[in-house]
A and B are shown apart, each in its own frame.
Chain A
Amino acid sequence: MKITLNVWRQPASQAPGKLERYDLDGVSADMSFLEMFDMLNEQLTMEGREPVAFAHDCREGICGSCAMMINGQAHGPWKGTATCQLHMRAFRDGDIITVEPWRAAPFPVVKDLVVNRGAFDRIIQAGGYISASTGGARDANEILIGKDVVEEAMDAAACIGCGACVAACPNASASLFTGAKISHLGLLPQGQPERDRRVLGMVEQMDLEGFGHCTLTGECQEACPKEIGIDVIKHMHRDFLTASARRQEPRAATGGAG
């Protein structure tokens, strides 16, 4: 089939960008969306033009590298599907497809369709872990975790860190990403000791990075390739309130008469 692409081209972070039009002939319905981009890039290279820079790696929907705004939808028209798993059978002969990078101030464009998502790593650094240094763990079966609990934690843990939630949100909020990690760890018994610290640290970092506030629009869960639901945001808000309230209480004095 024939496809017309309007692709965002931007040579560098600070340089202005614009949409450029490319015509592709001989696109197969069995191609993945990124294989269609491979075809475009081979064509551009042979014509002596610079290929389009785009992020990708595993092409199995799990590494979270790929990130394309396709006709205004993060990862395109298929629900629960990352860009790399989208196939050209989703389109028809003669379609015009506009492809842009994620748009959000905390994700600066590096070049063309590539953005820098380092902000997500910094949110994790602010508390998205359980402090369990290597070597001190007790036997894995000594911690009993109900099947339902672990399944719910796993639903949240499935996040691939692609940033589609931010790109889809009218406020560029990172609440789905942050809430997913807070839910994953906060649901498990191992995550309890640091539960308050975690939510306070991560939410503070999320704000520092310049992500917007959540207004429960729900676009994030529609765009999420792992179909993580906005319940995780509810979980984050609840934990944040509890932790904030507890933070107000003066700590018991240490030491004392002894």
Chain B
Amino acid sequence: MLDLNSKIPSGPLEQKWDKHRFEMKLVNPANKRKHHVIVVGAGLAGASAAATMAELGYQVSCFVFHDSPRRAHSIAAQGGINAAKNYQNDGDSVKRLFYDTIKGGDFRAREANVYRLAQVSVNIIDQCVAQGVPFAREYGGLLANRSFGGAQVSRTFYARGQTGQQLLLGAYQALERQVGLGKVRMHTFEEMLELVLVNGRARGIVTRNLLSGAVTSHAADAVVLATGGYGNVFFLSTNAMYSNVTATWRAHRKGAAFANPCYTQIHPTCIPVSGEHQSKLTLMSESLRNDGRIWVPKAQGDRRPPSQIPEGERDYYLERKYPSFGNLAPRDIASRAAKEACDDGRGVGPGGLGVYLDFGDSIRRLGRTTIAERYGNLFDMYQRITDENPYEQPMRIYPAVHYTMGGLWVDYNLMSNVPGLHVAGEANFSDHGANRLGASALMQGLADGYFVLPYTIGDYLASTALEKVDAAHPEFRAAEQAVRDRQARFLGIKGRRTVDSFHKELGKVMWDYCGMARDREGLTKAIGLIQGLKEEYWRNVNVPGSGDSLNQSLEKAGRVADFIELGELMCRDALHREESCGGHFRTEYQEDGEAKRNDEAFAYVAAWEHAGEGQDPVLHKEPLAYENVKLSTRSYK
């Protein structure tokens, strides 16, 4: 039986985190250096956690499969980071950010976690500015803000269209400072392939060096996984090509519960697919919806160029359907509305799978220079990819997989049900419920890494008696052997299909049946298809080369094998959740085209336990109690 105690502190919502911080045990400075913590991943959550724990005095080892920690996918986040600073005097507050996030997540997130996130959001901005993050400023020297979807206040801080890059470089520089001081041991080109448990506690990992193929054990007192999301299960997503589920999936197979795997965010504004060769999709930041207006022709099959469609024959469908939020409706709602328009035969561009994002009005109102200042790099990127000039004709956009709200289950301390295994950032499930609001991923990653984990890991270490364990322990030896065996198996199959061909097939099944709209029949069918794909994969995949040098096909083979298993779990989760909420839209459960939740039956976190090879996963439920907000139908009208 899994222990799913959320460990939410008692007391009023506003005081829980303060109270908890006081109640947590401390490790005295002299003892901190005796504790060794492993951090896997160096994106916003991993780099900030590793740097901060090293600053506190812990011995930290950080592992990345890239050539440098600066390459983590957080770098690609464009639009911004939310914080309840109320610098714009427009009525923002911690409580409002909390409420917007809970509501944006369609009432499927924990109140206490989200409130804490909103509280520490203000410290994040201070910390980043102190590090030299060049956030946009007004002429007077004060920080500038922009608006993002799902909010009626302007609370998003940004650095042009490269906010993720600048925040990551801040955390990366803090991390490299600790590496230079000898407080963090940085392992690059090193991929985690197993989690190691000793006496039921997470005590280390087994990695493979991507250059030499060497398989090595690393023991520690606690392990942090900050390995990002699993959107690449769809093959085509806005995620970087290397983003994968392997670290968290390996941990899941060792006992960590996987929570809400079906909650996937489909981002409304991405560049549409151009052909079969497509390897990934490119996001056009949500911030563009501040000044861009989304529309399709009113008439079906209208193939005229956009400039020849008169104003009266255009349907600005978000402004029409959601007048109070307009083009800034939350992502799940904007995506579904785009799909609806295209399904209705009113889509534009090749295959009718696109809608217009039009800057014409804004350019007329503000001038081309202002628009270029705000979005120049995005416009350039769009033009390079599509060969169309967005200053002169509207962008064509279409929804694409962007983020995964699900992830490993964690308690209030960000610890999974496996003691000692902590999970941060997109890799955990904790704060976004069934839909994440724009500019909240960066906020959560840095909240976890700078301001939550460094405290809660101290409490774990101070309150746990840990026996001495080193990498010679039989559990490590066994895990190393498992890694080598699996690798030998891939290389030995010598089948007739490439790893990518399986990945693409999996992605298509996931997109068709577990994408923007899902139903019982499709999901049932998908589970069968994925099981068939898994069987064929292990019989017919072709992994060339050897295991003792850089072999990108072999790396990918392991990741795709894990994606296939995850894909099945996502479909099972989506099938069992007989309601629509946030990014999870079951066509059987809707009202006037809007998601219809069933709070009586489904106001819980679905945490899945791996039951062993060939066994059905076991569902556990953590009920969600709402003491401070009233569950209501989400309305952006």
A residues with CB within 8 A of B: 11-12, 28, 30-32, 34-35, 38-39, 42, 45-46, 48-51, 53, 55-65, 78, 80-81, 85-87, 89, 110-111, 114, 116-118, 120-121, 124-126, 128-141, 143-147, 150, 153-154, 157-158, 160-161, 184-185, 188, 190-191
The DSSP consensus for interface residues of chain A is loop
- Contact at B135–A137, with CB atoms within 8 Å? no
Residue B601 lies at the interface, judged by CB distance under 8 Å to chain A? no
B35 interface residue per 8 A CB criterion: no
Instruction: Say whether, besides A125-B177, A144-B142, A85 and B384 are in contact (CB < 8 Å).
Output: yes
- State which of B162, B174, B544 has its C-beta within 8 Å of the C-beta of A45: B544
Smallest distance from the beta carbon of A121 to chain B beta carbons, Å? Answer: 5
Known: A28-B277, A130-B131, A141-B142. A147 touches B76 (CB 8 A): no
Q: What are 9 sample pairs from A and B whose C-beta atoms fall under 8 A apart?
A: A30-B275, A58-B73, A58-B240, A60-B76, A63-B75, A125-B176, A126-B180, A141-B87, A190-B132
**Residue in B132, B162, B544 whose beta carbon sits within 8 Å of that of A184 in the complex:** B132
CA distance A146 to B177 in the complex (A): 27
Contact of A63 among B52, B73, B166, B384 (CB under 8 A): B73
Interface pair B141/A147, CB less than 8 Å apart = yes
Residue numbers in A under 8 Å from B165 (CB-CB): 62, 158, 160
B contact residues around A134 at 8 Å (CB): 48, 51-52, 55, 127, 174, 450-451, 454
Cβ-neighbour of B550 out of A53, A136, A139, A184 (below 8 A): A53
| Residue B68 at the chain A interface, CB threshold 8 Å | yes
B279:A132 contact, CB within 8 angstroms: no
- Residue on A nearest B243 in the bound complex, by CB: A57
Which residue of B is nearest A46, CB measured?
Answer: B498
The residue on B at minimum CB distance from A51 is B553
CB atoms of B134 and A184 under 8 A apart: yes
Instruction: Give bound CA distance, A86 to B450, whole Å.
Output: 37
- Inter-chain CA distance A32–B51, complex, in Å, is 36
* Cα separation A153 to B188 with both chains bound (whole Å): 29
B278: CB under 8 A from chain A?
Answer: yes
Contact A190:B131 (CB < 8 A) given known A60-B282, A117-B68, A129-B177: yes
Question: Whole-angstrom distance from the CB of A225 to the nearest CB of chain B?
Answer: 11
Asked whether A45 and B240 contact (CB < 8 A) given A57-B71, A87-B385, A161-B68, the answer is no
Number of interface residues of B (CB under 8 A): 80
Bound-state Cα–Cα, A62 to B174, Å: 20
B242: CB under 8 A from chain A? Answer: yes
For B139, list chain A residues within 8 Å (CB). 146-147
A63 touches B71 (CB 8 A): yes
| Residues on B facing A (Cβ under 8 Å) | 48, 51-52, 55, 66-73, 75-76, 85, 87, 123, 125-132, 134-143, 159-160, 162, 165-166, 169, 172-174, 176-177, 179-180, 186, 188, 211, 240-242, 274-275, 277-280, 282-283, 380-381, 384-385, 387, 450-451, 454, 498, 500-501, 542, 544-545, 549-550, 552-553
Inter-chain pairs besides A117-B67, A118-B188, A137-B129, 14 sampled, C-beta below 8 Å: A57-B240, A58-B73, A58-B76, A62-B75, A62-B162, A116-B67, A121-B176, A128-B173, A130-B173, A133-B52, A136-B130, A137-B126, A143-B129, A150-B137
B550 touches A59 (CB 8 A): no
In the complex, are the beta carbons of A150 and B125 less than 8 A apart?
no
- Contact at A65–B66, with CB atoms within 8 Å? yes
The interface residues of chain A lying within 8 Å CB-to-CB of B123 are 137
A102 to chain B, nearest CB (A): 12
CB proximity of A232 to chain B, nearest CB, Å: 14
Flag if A130 contacts B76 (CB, 8 Å): no
How long is the Cα–Cα vector from A65 to B176 in the complex, in angstroms? 18
B277 close to A38 (CB less than 8 A): yes
Could you say which residues of chain B place their CB within 8 Å of the CB of A184?
A: 132, 134
Chain A residues lying within 8 Å of B381, measured Cβ to Cβ, are 60-61, 85
